[in-house]
Amino acid sequence: MQVAIVKYGAGNVHSVVHALRRCGVEPVLTDDNAVIRRADRVVFPGQGEAGHTMLSVRAQGLDWLIPELRQPVLGICIGQQLMCARSEESGGTECIGIFPETEVRRFRPRSGEDKVPHMGWNTVKGKGFLDMEFFYFVHSFYVPVCEYTVGVCEYCGVEFSAAMRRDNFFATQFHPEKSGAAGERLLRAFLEDKLSLGFEVLRF
């Protein structure tokens, strides 16, 4: 099985490489659109700023390529946000639009006790996400809960989309590659195409 990790100038992609190796696959980190199109699985990960990363996405033609993919695709962190329609970041950024009519918003602290970015461990509610199971987050922007939401987290008094799905596209705001056994279970379910059955498979 060939797993392509999209290389587009975002940070933190090498931790995804190592996590997939722990799952028994040797992924290819690539910016070659032909390789991405042929891959059995595609991972669209990273950390970064929406405006800058979308410039790279458009320069590589990924804004039209990724929506055309028919194999399972997993967006992680900024990858999830770029799959939305637009972002408040960078003064307003048009994104890829795999999740239509969704706008990424900035966390607004309620008090001095709220710290932005949301950084560290938090729980997720939804089918397949076990009570008191923690995932690792690092983000200042979030996707509001919408029709594509399959996992919900709360921070700064706001519930947001921790996990999303539309057809063959899956996405997480948290970093499964940094989330221990729970994150590895999600990555293995993605590699085995079990997520197509729904996130409830994560219970097994």
18 noted as active-site residue: no
Instruction: Quickly count: other Cβ atoms within 10 Å of residue 190's Cβ.
Output: 22
Radius of gyration of the chain (CA): 16
pLDDT beyond 80 at 111: no
Which of 77, 84, 95, 153 is flagged as catalytic? Answer: 77
To the nearest whole number, what is the mean pLDDT of the chain? Answer: 94
Phi, psi (5° rounding) for residue 8? Answer: -145, 20
What whole-number distance in Å separates Cα of residue 94 and Cα of residue 96? 7
pLDDT beyond 60 at 204: no
177 noted as active-site residue: yes
Which of 89, 95, 153, 175 is flagged as catalytic? Answer: 175
What is the tens place of the pLDDT at every residue in 144-187?
Answer: 999 999 999 999 999 999 999 999 999 999 999 999 999 999 99
The amino acid present at 116, given as its one-letter code, is V
The per-residue pLDDT for 156 is 92
What whole-number distance in Å separates Cα of residue 53 and Cα of residue 66? 14
Enumerate residues 6+ apart whose C-beta is below 8 A from 151: 124, 125, 126, 128, 129, 161, 162, 163, 164, 172, 199
- pLDDT bin (cut points 50, 70, 90) of residue 12 is confident
**Inter-residue contact 82 to 54 (CB < 8 Å):** yes
Q: Is it true that domain 3-203 has CATH number 3.40.50.880?
A: yes
**For the chain, domain boundaries:** 3-203
Mean pLDDT value of segment 115-133: 91
Share of the chain above pLDDT 90, in %: 83
CA dihedral 2, 7, 101, 89 (to 10 degrees): 160
Mean pLDDT value of segment 65-90: 96
Mean pLDDT value of segment 38-51: 94
pLDDT beyond 60 at 128: yes
